[in-house]
Copies of this chain bind each other. A is one copy, B any other.
Amino acid sequence: MVHVCALIHDDVMDASDTRRGAPSIHKTFENLHVKNGMVGSPAQFGVASAILLGDLALIWSAQMLHNSGLSPNELIRSLPVYDEMRVELMAGQFLDVYEQALGTQNVERSLKVARYKSGKYTIERPLHFGAALASAPVELISTYSNYGIPLGEAFQLRDDLLGVFGNPEATGKPAGDDLREGKRTALIAVALERANGSQKSLLLSGIGDANLTSDKVADLQQVITETGATSHIESMISKLTSTSLSALNHGGISPVGKQLLTELAILATDRKI
């Protein structure tokens, strides 16, 4: 439900009218306003409703955790990780918005955004949450970081590739969605770094254009691949995944745990959606 809040608010922030092919929350309320001939601005009603529903989702997520049947001690142990995770998520989202406004194109900074915005939230912190619940030893917690942080980055880099090259039928998002949105991903940063003069102008003319045609998307996809950015990111994903998996050889992970976390690493980095 923390994630539900982030998605609802994200759509308001990006003024995205759709989410996986269906109207986004603010658009749904806006449509309701128009359909029922309500008073005032439909767009403002949509935005206000979505902000409040996002706030409610954030509060409900905490309420669900509080009422989940955890013992008082388990709950007390898990709350610090839960809070830290939520702060990191929102700070990462802000970092993303801020970097976009700065207009920077830098691989290192893109990776930092990715680490906070989704890397830690997706893999490391949920493992820490479970570790806190089970009173795991410090050694295991640090193994989870060594496994989770690179894997989270690899997960996000796969997301970057899917955002440009993903099959719309599998991802539920239009092809080249990240290009239209002008997202400052590591993939785009690498492509711009490596592009020659004419490649760079083509990229800069298309990225962030909300009305990109599918032909133009195909051109941009081709240029990104020709710069070598696609294979560079694939090789980063492989390296990060190896680093992540090698962490499982240390720090007292059981054989079953190791097997499950290995499967998770493959699911997170070798996916089509």
Contacts of A33 in B (CB 8 A): 101
Contacts of A55 in B (CB 8 A): 5, 9, 54-55, 58, 90
Asked whether B51 lies within 8 Å of A101 as measured between CB atoms, the reply is: no
Copies of this protein in the complex: 2
Does A62 belong to the interface (CB within 8 Å)? yes
CA A91 – CA B51 in complex, angstroms? 12
Contacts of A59 in B (CB 8 A): 58, 83, 86-87, 90
How far does the Cβ of A91 sit from chain B's closest Cβ, in whole Å?
7
Binds B, one of A70-78, A131-139, A167-175, A241-249: A70-78
Q: Which of B66, B73, B83 contacts A80 (CB 8 A)?
A: B66
Asked whether B72 lies within 8 Å of A13 as measured between CB atoms, the reply is: no
Does A213 belong to the interface (CB within 8 Å)? no
CA A51 – CA B97 in complex, angstroms? 11
How far does the Cβ of A125 sit from chain B's closest Cβ, in whole Å?
13
A50-67: CB near B (< 8 Å → 1, else 0) gives: 011111101110110011
